[in-house]
Chain A
Amino acid sequence: MDIDDVPQEGNRSLGGHRKALYARGADGQLALVPSRGWEAEEIVTRQAVEELDRLAAEAQERARAGTGSALEYHMYKARMDSLMLAQVTRLWHWRVRRHLRPEVFRRLRPALLARYAEALGLDLATLTRIP
């Protein structure tokens, strides 16, 4: 890639930052060039973010309707899935999946709630609330 081809498209997902790329300058040597971002990159980053947002929104609807738990919503909101939440809380995956059910989550012991709150970086009140 030549220095003139380094994309400067203002990739929204970089939040105004520039990232470094190596490209060939006028002297024929490769050198570090700051890039404002590339649309292709923005597309795949936004795709991943939007997928998690979609899962969170669906979980939120279920939780409001009483068919899902607040835990599931907060899990996706923290960009995790049940496997990752199990790894972070050091609980069995099947237990975490069970805790995602609203009737189970409602009766969860405070110690377990605290464990989830800690893993998701929330306080207890937020964890049990559905926004």
Chain B
Amino acid sequence: MADFQHQHASHCESGVMSAIVRHYGLPFSEPMAFGLASALSFAWLPFVKLGGLPLVAYRMPPKAIIRGLRKPLALDMRFETFRDPARGMARLDELLAQGKVVGLQTSVFWLPYMPEDLRFHFNAHNVLVYGRDAASGDYLLSDPVFEHPVRCTAEDLSRARFARGVLAPKGLLYYPANRPSAPDWGKAIPAAIRKTERIMLKAPLPLIGARGIERAARAVGRLPAQDKDGDVRHSKLFIGHLVRMQEEIGTGGAGFRYLYASFLEEGAELAQRPALKEFSGRLVEIGDRWREFALAAARMIRDRDPLDPPRLAAMLSERAAEERAFFTDLGRAL
């Protein structure tokens, strides 16, 4: 697979999927993969705990992008999981020998090339394997959130693919069985946007979309700002966790709002809907304000500003109101 082109991306799953689609002959950007799969979201799941803190996500669950592109691109994605790591590795070798590029779900913690500070037990990191070095036996990996291709030994890769716990990958590998075909952009793009609009505004659970942001705001507003028995430490960990999920985990920056804005900009041209360009600009501004929230929280964590949960809660409520208005207007404009 000497002709595989690695490309830096902002998010692992949209990065892997856009690389696969490009590799099989269709020009396809990362933002287009993210937007066309309707991957933007917000979820507040306080009953799922990560290290004692509630699960918060600024996008749809893992695998949503891989699955979401099957229909618009008529892409026949195959998924395989394994009980036995040895069989999972053998199957990977077999697919590579057939000249395929193969997507893998892995644990961040067990990938040795990850920077030490980012090695947490997150089991839904996506990487692409495009070959194997004959001399050393190392796998050649395109990890989209890295600028350049990386390598990984068979032992480490197996460990990362078969990590257990929440979202255990079970050795998941995926690859397309056919070539993707360009959709009717004029239809596929508005359809994808309408789906995101529904998720953000009309999800049946009040924990998803704009209402989820409001719930998160209320939870932040209830955090104690005065110390008694480590309360302040917990409050700081709580807000730090919110920001980490926004900026660091899955990356994307500003909770994926910039990535979606880029999709809207590209969509304006492909679908010949110039109005989308203005919405793109508006979403960039919303993203900037998510970053203001991140900055305010970080300053409080380091005691540069006094800890003020109600102030952060108010900022989150504003984000909720802005996104509600944004997606309402976006839906009307289609």
Contact B147 A14 (CB under 8 A): no
Cβ of A32: which chain B residues have Cβ within 8 Å of it? Answer: 8-10, 30
Choice from A16, A22, A44, A81 contacting B248 with Cβ under 8 Å: A44
Report which residue of A15, A16, A90, A121 has the largest number of chain B beta carbons within 10 angstroms of its beta carbon: A15
How many residues of B are in contact with the other chain, CB < 8 A? 53
- Does B251 sit within 8 A of A, measured CB to CB? yes
C-alpha spacing A90/B297, complex, angstroms: 36
Given A19-B145, A23-B258, are A1 and B117 neighbors across the interface (CB < 8 Å)? no
Q: Which stretch of B90-98, B159-167, B176-184, B211-219 is in the interface? A: B159-167
Cβ of B159: which chain A residues have Cβ within 8 Å of it? Answer: 121
C-alpha spacing A29/B119, complex, angstroms: 34
Contact B247 A12 (CB under 8 A): no
C-alpha spacing A79/B251, complex, angstroms: 20
Given A18-B147, A30-B261, A87-B166, are A80 and B121 neighbors across the interface (CB < 8 Å)? yes
Contact A44 B262 (CB under 8 A): no
- Does A10 sit within 8 A of B, measured CB to CB? no
Given A13-B117, A79-B120, are A20 and B243 neighbors across the interface (CB < 8 Å)? no
Which positions 72-88 of chain A face chain B at CB distance < 8 Å? 79-81, 83-84, 87-88
Cβ of A97: which chain B residues have Cβ within 8 Å of it? Answer: none
C-alpha spacing A81/B51, complex, angstroms: 6
Nearest B-chain residue to A89, judged by Cβ: B164
Cβ of A38: which chain B residues have Cβ within 8 Å of it? Answer: 247
Contact A87 B8 (CB under 8 A): no
- Does A45 sit within 8 A of B, measured CB to CB? yes
Binary flags per residue of B67-110, CB closer than 8 Å to A gives 1, else 0 = 00000000000000000000000000000000000000000011
Report which residue of A1, A29, A30, A88 has the largest number of chain B beta carbons within 10 angstroms of its beta carbon: A30
Choice from B115, B259, B287 contacting A14 with Cβ under 8 Å: B115
- Does A65 sit within 8 A of B, measured CB to CB? no
Which positions 3-48 of chain A face chain B at CB distance < 8 Å? 12-24, 29-32, 34-35, 38-41, 43-48
Binary flags per residue of B107-142, CB closer than 8 Å to A gives 1, else 0 = 001100001111111000000000000000000000
Contact A20 B10 (CB under 8 A): yes
Main SS of the interface on chain A? mixed
How many residues of A are in contact with the other chain, CB < 8 A? 42
A84 CB, nearest partner CB in chain B, Å? 6
Given A15-B116, A83-B49, are A20 and B288 neighbors across the interface (CB < 8 Å)? no
Given A20-B145, A47-B301, A121-B159, are A13 and B118 neighbors across the interface (CB < 8 Å)? yes
Given A21-B253, A32-B8, A44-B297, are A84 and B145 neighbors across the interface (CB < 8 Å)? no
Contact B145 A12 (CB under 8 A): no
Q: Which stretch of B39-47, B198-206, B234-242, B308-316 is in the interface? A: B234-242
- Does B194 sit within 8 A of A, measured CB to CB? no
Contact B261 A22 (CB under 8 A): yes
Choice from B118, B121, B147, B280 contacting A30 with Cβ under 8 Å: B280
A14 CB, nearest partner CB in chain B, Å? 6
Choice from A13, A19, A21, A47 contacting B236 with Cβ under 8 Å: A47
A16 CB, nearest partner CB in chain B, Å? 8
C-alpha spacing A61/B1, complex, angstroms: 52
Given A1-B284, A22-B261, A32-B30, are A88 and B164 neighbors across the interface (CB < 8 Å)? yes
Binary flags per residue of A85-106, CB closer than 8 Å to B gives 1, else 0 = 0011010000000000000000
A3 CB, nearest partner CB in chain B, Å? 12
Nearest A-chain residue to B256, judged by Cβ: A22
Contact B164 A40 (CB under 8 A): no
- Does B265 sit within 8 A of A, measured CB to CB? yes
C-alpha spacing A23/B52, complex, angstroms: 34
Contact B258 A1 (CB under 8 A): yes
Given A21-B253, A23-B258, A84-B165, are A79 and B147 neighbors across the interface (CB < 8 Å)? no
- Does B326 sit within 8 A of A, measured CB to CB? no
A40-B247, A51-B237 known, 19 other contacts, Cβ within 8 Å = A1-B288, A13-B117, A15-B117, A19-B253, A20-B8, A20-B147, A30-B31, A30-B262, A40-B291, A40-B294, A44-B294, A45-B117, A46-B117, A47-B301, A48-B237, A49-B117, A81-B51, A87-B166, A119-B164
